[in-house]
Amino acid sequence: MTGSPERGQNTARSPTSDPQQDPRNDRQLVYSARLGDERAFDALFYRYRDGIFRLAVAITKDPRTAEEIVVDTFARAYRALERLEPDDSLRPWLYRVAINESYDRRPRRGYTTSPLEDAADDLVASEDGSPAERAERAELRRVVLEAIDTLGPKHRTVVILHYLNELSLAEIAVIAECPVGTVKSRLHYALRHLRTHLSPHPGLRVEPRGSRGATGIR
Amino acid sequence: MRERRRPLSLGERLETEALIDGAFAPLRRRRASVGPTRVRAAVRWGRVGPARPVPWAARVARVSELAMAVGFSVFVFAGSLASAPGERVPTGEAPEMLEVAVVDDVLVRRAFWVPEAPSAPDAERPLVVPLDDHLDPSKPLPAWIGAQPVGGQPLVAFIVR
């Protein structure tokens, strides 16, 4: 890494010039990064940057804070390179750090700097349909996101990791450091809570999507 | 309560999952705009973690510490000023001169002993004080004319020449 004398000046060449296309697995990238391969660390960064960013936005509701969390998470990873021993994936470690960072910076109840629904407004404008339909969909999202926000941290984290970051229950279990059964239980509780919370809302009539499995287990 | 414990049917589950999917859809398309350069800068400058706001109790504690520090400093400074003249503490080995005055062409000296000092004279005995004559050090001082204890104070001797 530039400007880090302790890391040395070894800049081993990666198989590809674009770090975002690096085919090496996490373990290989971690070992290369330890030897001072900047591209290896960059490849890890680009591989997980957006996932961590979305997770952080979902928890903190503030894109700027989420970017800080991305930076801090990878800064911690850089400092921990010597100790990290990833079997196949660095993802559980990174996500665990990011979750802790996000809850540390999550605004207190009743104080939100930039609500999640506001953060998505710029993307709503690019959707199809009339302005009225888009407004209706935005309102629907707002209600659902508010319902997710009423969940406790453990259940909310499982919902975010599963439905936003599209992690499997097994991966979530590694991140949460609990058995897969516990993750299933939390997810089931969360869905039931959301169902109960959303059912009184008159506008919630959405057809089920066929793309996702009924059990949610991937 | 029974409703809350009832497991979701397949349709309910799919519907709820679709709602969550839809709510997260815009967020799923978002991308971070930071690059690895910012990570390098954070590592180089050693700033990792949020800049935490100082809680109210901590602020009060800091103000209290500051007030105590200032108060103690003022106390020490004032004490050092008060002791600056260096008033000598009587040891009792020799009488302490309180005042020297000339009254009707007579030099009057007033001195005292610390009563508990080993060499302090008994109040009943006549005093023999080996004082120096500061006006004329070559001459010894004449006899004493008396001594008296002054209400719990050190013994006081009046010297007249």
More confident residue, A126 or A114: A126
Work out the pLDDT band at A121, boundaries 50, 70, 90. Answer: low
Work out the pLDDT band at B22, boundaries 50, 70, 90. Answer: confident
Average of pLDDT values for A127-154? 82
Closest CA in chain A for residue B47:
A72
Q: Quick one: tokens of A175? A: 């991140």
Helix or strand or coil: residue B156?
A: strand
Q: What is the pTM of this model?
A: 0.59
Average of pLDDT values for A73-90? 81
B114 pLDDT more than 70:
no
HEC-encoded secondary structure of A60-105: HCCHHHHHHHHHHHHHHHHHCCCCCCCCCCCHHHHHHHHHHHHHHH
A23 pLDDT more than 90:
no
State which fold the A115-204 domain adopts: Arc Repressor Mutant, subunit A (1.10.10)
Task: Measure B52 CA to nearest chain A CA, in Å.
Answer: 9
Closest CA in chain B for residue A142:
B23
Query: For residue A72, which residues of chain B lie inside 8 Å, CB to CB?
Result: 42, 48-50
What pLDDT does residue A32 have?
A: 84
pLDDT in tens, A146-204: 888 888 889 999 999 999 988 899 999 998 889 999 999 999 999 988 888 887 776 66
CB contact under 8 A, A196 and B34: no
Query: Which of A83-92, A130-139, A160-169, B98-107 is predicted most confidently?
Result: A160-169
What pLDDT does residue B115 have?
A: 53
- Percent of chain B's residues with pLDDT above 90: 7
More confident residue, B133 or B76: B76
What pLDDT does residue A110 have?
A: 45
Lowest mean pLDDT among A17-31, A123-137, B67-81: A123-137
Query: Which of A91-95, B70-74, B145-149 is predicted most confidently?
Result: B70-74
Burial class (CB within 10 angstroms; exposed 0-12, middle 13-18, buried 19+) of A172: buried
Closest CA in chain B for residue A126:
B26
What pLDDT does residue A92 have?
A: 87
Work out the pLDDT band at A17, boundaries 50, 70, 90. Answer: low
Q: Which of A45, A49, A140 sits opposite B22 (nearest CB)?
A: A140
A9 pLDDT more than 80:
no
How far is the CA of A55 from the CAs of A66, A69, A89, A204, in angstroms? 8, 10, 18, 25
Work out the pLDDT band at B128, boundaries 50, 70, 90. Answer: very low
User: CA triplet B130, B135, B140: central angle to 5 degrees?
Assistant: 35
Domains of chain B: which residue ranges? 96-160
CB contact under 8 A, A50 and B33: no
- Nearest residue to B135 via CA among B96, B101, B88, B90: B101
Count of residues for chain B? 161
Where does A1-111 sit in CATH, by number? 1.10.1740.10
Q: Quick one: tokens of B31? A: 């991308």
Average of pLDDT values for B88-114? 56
How far is the CA of A107 from the CAs of A62, B4, B11, B26, B95, in angstroms? 9, 29, 35, 22, 77
B145 C-beta neighbours (distance < 10 Å), count? 12
CB contact under 8 A, A71 and B8: no
Q: Quick one: tokens of B56? A: 């109210």
Domains of chain A: which residue ranges? 1-111, 115-204
Q: How far apart are the C-alpha atoms of B157 and B147, rounded to whole Å?
A: 5
Residue A147 and residue A197 in contact, taking contact as beta carbons nearer than 8 Å: yes
Work out the pLDDT band at A84, boundaries 50, 70, 90. Answer: confident
Q: How far apart are the C-alpha atoms of A61 and A69, rounded to whole Å?
A: 12
* Chain A with chain B: Cβ pairs closer than 8 A: 141
Query: For residue A159, which residues of chain B lie inside 8 Å, CB to CB?
Result: 20
More confident residue, A36 or A75: A75
Query: For residue B31, which residues of chain A lie inside 8 Å, CB to CB?
Result: 50, 53
Is residue B66 within a helix (H) or strand (E), and if so which, with residue range?
helix B56-82
What pLDDT does residue A172 have?
A: 92
Kind of pairing, strands B106-113 and B155-160? antiparallel
Work out the pLDDT band at B86, boundaries 50, 70, 90. Answer: low
Burial class (CB within 10 angstroms; exposed 0-12, middle 13-18, buried 19+) of B3: exposed
Task: Measure B39 CA to nearest chain A CA, in Å.
Answer: 5
